Structure formats: structure tokens, C-alpha cells
Structure 1
């Protein structure tokens, strides 16, 4: 007897958790994408994965697109489907991958929103009057200093930072670890936070950042804290963790022009991702301007 699509998806999710050891966040993303497929299939009375062909996947894709799902989201959805069906091929409960060869509709690329240096300084100039302030200051300094992803920051443990060497070890996508430098201002903020952290009721947790209840601070809580700080610091819009990561990458690239180094620091597998992420290579633009504009009037460096 063939298993249903829902049963196969549960089997696949177990495989992601136990065999591939993917993070709960990544596993949740796969589950969310596959639920879109099962919802569409239930309307079409398609119960088993063996019933699905490429035309079904295309029809489901077009439905999602009409409902407003963007090109990049559909691209990720297709990637999740391919991974799921490849798992089915490996375990021999399907004979072909119905998602292969299907391309997501293109969507216009959006440039990432960044803060300029003055805006970053405005956002980081927090006056600390409580342990929560010291914690929040350390959070935003680390995000900007080392270009961390939100999940990487939330997963930090006390043992991940080396105060003497001014480095931090983070676990990124695909459970890959990388070591990053920590700037002097961020290091100072972390030291202040760790001092005040000792004053909290001991929970035995190794989490770097704790909540009022003494639990590991969740990604959602970190996002909410940054929104509140945005209002408190008089920012024009809400600052979110990824905006600080964008700003880190953009400012570093503007100053160094070293795309490969920025790629390593961000933990990107492909440099094309970094090119989209950082979007502005100021030194390159300046050289083009100096060379091409008849009235540039800029002093040439020797």
C-alpha cells in the first residue's frame, strides 16, 4: 500500500531533523513550502506523491503566483519540492522528480535597505540604565560589527565568543561554522552585558542573550526589541536585524572593495549572493566616475 503525500512529508521532515541534522528553522521552511503543495493537492484529489507529474507542479506554481507569491519565494518553494522528491527517488517510492526543469517566474530584484554610517551611529548611541539596555546594546553592536544573521545571533552561547582574541564563532546555514572578528565597540558592549548577566538569577543556560524569564532570547523577541529601539532612537523607519547585516556588508565593501572577503564574512556559498546583498561597490563607481566624467575634478591617488 502506497503512503499518502502527507505521510511521505512527515517521513521527509524526520529525515531532515535526524539524518541531515538541519536546524529547526530550516526544517520549518521546508515544511511550510510543502504544505502549500499538499493544500493544492487536496483540492485536486491528489493523495499520493506517485500521482504527481510536472504539469501538476506547474499548475500549483501558477496558482501560488496568482495568489501573490513572489518569484524568489516560488524559487525557494521549487527548491524545497526538488529536495523532497529527490529524497523520494533515493528511497524508490517515485520514479522521477516532477519538479525538475520547472523555472520560477522572474521578479524584479529589490536592493537591500541599509543605514548610512551616521544612521548606524544614531541607532547605536544607546544610553544604558538597566540590564536590558546593556543586553540590547550588545545585540545590535554584534549584528553590525560582525554581520550576523538573526538566527546566528539568537543561537550564540557564552563559549562562542573569545574576548581575548576578539573573535566569535557562529553556526550558519547548513550547520556550517565560521569564525568572525568582533570590533572594539562591540567587544566593549558584550563585556558590559556579560558583567550584568552575572547579576541575573542563574538558570544554568549557556545562551549568550537571555529574556526576562531567564530563557534564551528568541529571534522574534530580538526583532521586537530592535523595533522599540528604532522608536527610542528617533530613526526614520524600523530597523530590523537584517538591515544591520546589509549595512555591515555594504560599508565594508565600500571601504575595502574586497568582494571575496565580504563573501567569507557573510558566510555566503556563492559570490553572486554577495553581489546582490552588498549592491554597492563604491570604489569601483568612484574609479569609473574619475575616468569617465569630464568634470570630475577629483584628486587622483598616486
Structure 2
């Protein structure tokens, strides 16, 4: 089981919107040196919803190549079409990734039975381990713990990224899931408490800009060293909150560019760069967290 700080990696782009593979390689090296536990390539923070399938696959393949076995790579392979998610899952089977990350289908609002059948079909389409991803604030559908428990019976469904920010939900999941089912927070603001209460890690936006700090915080939290973990988490709190002033990944790409981690904060439409009114707020958060002088 992967544990600790897992980065939901941004996808750097040049001013024309093309993938910047030079910057991408540098990001992979940055996270390896910073002791990030794993990389999620082409998750929703990586703009999977707006890139072509061809670019999606290229980014994952390049990250696997750049990582060269030094850091585990998870690939986003979710979609609101079951057939598209299955196609991505098959493409990534035997690619070198350790798992696929599957967001709940967005916009079409399936029932709990629909969610079960969707993820069951993906899991049965290949032997690739699959991590579920529940983020109702973005998808308009909430996968309930009882549905997760049904899916956990499928051998290659190995975990969930739970992004409700509801710690009572974690307690419910822990009570009904096998002990070896991985529980990851998808909410940076509550991620520390999530691990202190028995979660296994956080798939994090903040880790893009503070990988070393997040790695250390996660290590303390997983070891039950509450005071040390909370001290780092408190330092990072302005970042946790201000990276969501506009829709993710708009603020985090701007912050990455401000820190010199990527050349530009460019995104693909319909996403646009961070509104000027929020520039100082994000900059101040980076300063307060001691990420900028």
C-alpha cells in the first residue's frame, strides 16, 4: 500500500497551450528529491478533462519514463463514460503505472447502482489496480460508503481518494472496509486529521508547491506524532485554502509559476489563468507558509 504525500501533479503548458515536457521532467525530479511518495499523472488537477486522449496518454508515458522506477506513478483513467474509462484503463495496463485513479462520473449523476456497475466494469476490463475517487463538490454525485464497500470486494479495486473533507465519512469507511483497503484524503485542509484518524495518505494539490513539507507532515501524522504533524499543517493552512480561491487547478498553476516551478501558469480552455484580484492572496499564502521570501 502506498502511504504518505501523493502529488496530484499539474501539467505544465507553454504559452500556446502545448504540453511542456521539459518542465514536466523537472517537476518529476523535484518531487523525487522532495521525497513525495507517488505521482498522480493526468488526474483532474492535471487537466484530464480538457486535454485530448493522445495528450493524456503521452503525459502519463513521459512521467513513467522520467520517473524511471524511482517514484510510483498512478494514472488518472476516469471518465463520465464507462467505455472511455475502460479504454484508458486498457491503454495503461502493463505501462508501468502502479494503479489507475477513477473519478466518479461527472454531470450525468448516476445512481449508486450505476456507480457500482461503472467501476465494476472498469475493474473487470483489465488487471490494473484501481483507486476510486469521490469528489461530489466537482462531480455532483456522492459515492456512499456502502457502495465503496461493495466495490472493495472486487480484487483489483484497492483504495479510494475521498475528497468530501468529512472526517465522519472516514470513520464510516474504516468501520465497513477491509483493513488493507487504502484510504486517501483528497482534501488538503483536512488531510492531516484524516491521517491522524487512520487514513493512509493524501492525494494533494498543496504538494505541488510544498512537497518536502507535505512529505514530512504526512510522515509525522502516519506515525501518530500529532503535535509535529499539526505544526507543519498549520504553517501550510494558508496554502491549503488559497489554492482553491478559483477552480482547481487555476490557483495552483499560478502558484507553481510564481515559485519558478513551471514557466507559465497556462491552462487549456475553458479554464483561464488566475484572476488578478487573487494574485496577492495566493502570493501572501506562499509567503506565510515560508515558500516565498
Band of TM-score, shorter chain: under 0.3
Higher relative contact order (CA 8 A, sep 6+): 2
Q: Computing the radius of gyration over CA atoms, which structure comes out larger, 1 or 2?
A: 1
| TM norm structure 1 | 0.21
